[in-house]
Homo-oligomer: A and B are copies of this chain.
Amino acid sequence: MDFHEFDKTMPVDKAVKERIKAVEKMSGAKLTHISHYSIDEEETVKKNIENMIGVTQVPLGVAGPLKVNGKEYIIPLATTEGALVASVNRGCKTINLSGGAKATVVDNRMTRAPVFSCESASKAVEAAMWIDKSFDEIKKLMEEDPFLKLLKVRSWVVGRNLYTRFECFTGDAMGMNMITIGVEKVCKYIEENTGAKWLATSGNMCIDKKPSALNMIEGRGRRVIAECVIPEKVVREVLKTTPDAMIEVNYRKNLVGSAQAGSYGFNAHFANIVAAMYIATGQDPAQVVSGSMGFTLIEKKGNDIHASVTVPCLKVATVGGGTQRETQSEALDIMGLRGGGKPAGANADKLAEVMASAILAGELSLVAALAAKHLGRAHSQLGR
């Protein structure tokens, strides 16, 4: 029997149990812990997963509180990497003692990028021009979903392919699904009016869950910057190193080293903090990919340091998707950021700013640990 057959013949809770039994029988495994959970199966199966057999319990810790734009936030981190929470915590302390982080969402746009196949490049160019002219009609079609605002449509012609990119505001939702539905209506419209053949709803110029220069440059989700001036005294006392050592490590590792590696991540470990907060708060963990891109800069400011992280591509939501699950929304509650903001998008903006500030905390702590050369030691002591 197929795993998804159970759902058709019995209530969800029973289906989960029967499926566990089936898996146990087939594999010989004993799924005691997987089947230990408190989440609402019916809701979960409706919104988040198929063929459910239970949950993965990911250890959840807290760092902080961390002062961001004048307000304190406790930072929830779901991880199994020993030393990570402690490291972020040290960064939080550093930032707090320096007056807190200043964080700003600089840009915000979610994208979907269908590809059209045309008879020739010149036909593709014509279709691109038609799309440009028809922005108002396209916008109207897209915006049937009241939370969606179409900001821009861009086109690239490559040979006889027409790649479009629809850039949208989606409030506090991550928004991929509402855009996809809107875009598919528009694709039909374009196909009918230009003769360009709608080939696929995504032509990878979105570009979703793959590292790319396009998104590092143009942004997808929120582009957010967090910064802080750390007094020399705090560098010495909390981070156990010197401003000059941190500046040098950041320069030789995060800039020159990443450059020679052909990397889009000019940072130490954005991905660690992004992953831990994404899992904790119900974001899409495959989006860690683009969250790992970006720049850590540590520069002299008098005797102190100016430290910043620039995260060009952070996807966050406070409604929809995984944020609705029980532990995940509790984690949002810890930060006071569950649900839709006022105006729409305000909660997700704040979440992005807190996340960027936590990333800054993580960067400061790891760069300092490297500068002071106690990386191996930290991991030995705090688990492996």
Contacts beyond the supplied A3-B62, A121-B308, A201-B376: 17 A-B pairs with Cβ under 8 Å: A3-B64, A33-B39, A50-B61, A50-B85, A52-B61, A57-B57, A81-B322, A115-B253, A177-B376, A204-B253, A207-B258, A208-B269, A255-B256, A256-B295, A264-B264, A278-B285, A289-B292
Binds B, one of A134-142, A232-240, A326-334: A326-334
- Whether A32 is near chain B, meaning CB under 8 Å from some CB there, is yes
Interface centre among A215, A257, A262, A327 (most CB of B within 10 A): A257
CB-CB < 8 A to A89: which residues of B? Answer: 2-4, 50-51
CB-CB < 8 A to A36: which residues of B? Answer: 37-38
- Whether A346 is near chain B, meaning CB under 8 Å from some CB there, is no
Known contacts A33-B327, A253-B202, A330-B33; is-contact A50 B83 (Cβ 8 Å) = yes
Return the 7 tightest CB-CB contacts between A and B, nearest first: A210-B265, A80-B322, A213-B213, A211-B211, A213-B262, A204-B257, A29-B333
- Whether A150 is near chain B, meaning CB under 8 Å from some CB there, is no
Residues of A86-141 whose CB lies within 8 A of B: 86, 89, 102, 104, 106, 113, 115, 117, 120-122, 125, 128
Q: Give the dominant DSSP class at A's interface.
A: mixed
Q: How far is the CA of A128 from the CA of B223 in the complex (A)?
A: 14
- Whether A161 is near chain B, meaning CB under 8 Å from some CB there, is yes
How many identical chains are in the complex?
A: 4
Question: Shortest Cβ distance from A78 into chain B, in angstroms?
Answer: 4
Known contacts A33-B38, A217-B260, A265-B212; is-contact A56 B78 (Cβ 8 Å) = yes
Q: How far is the CA of A378 from the CA of B19 in the complex (A)?
A: 23
Question: Shortest Cβ distance from A186 into chain B, in angstroms?
Answer: 11
- Whether A200 is near chain B, meaning CB under 8 Å from some CB there, is yes
**A227 to B120, Cβ gap below 8 A?**
yes
The count of residues in chain A whose C-beta lies closer than 8 Å to any C-beta of chain B is 166
- Whether A159 is near chain B, meaning CB under 8 Å from some CB there, is yes
Please give me the residue from chain B that is nearest to A217 by CB atom: B214
**B259 to A266, Cβ gap below 8 A?**
yes
**A310 to B159, Cβ gap below 8 A?**
yes
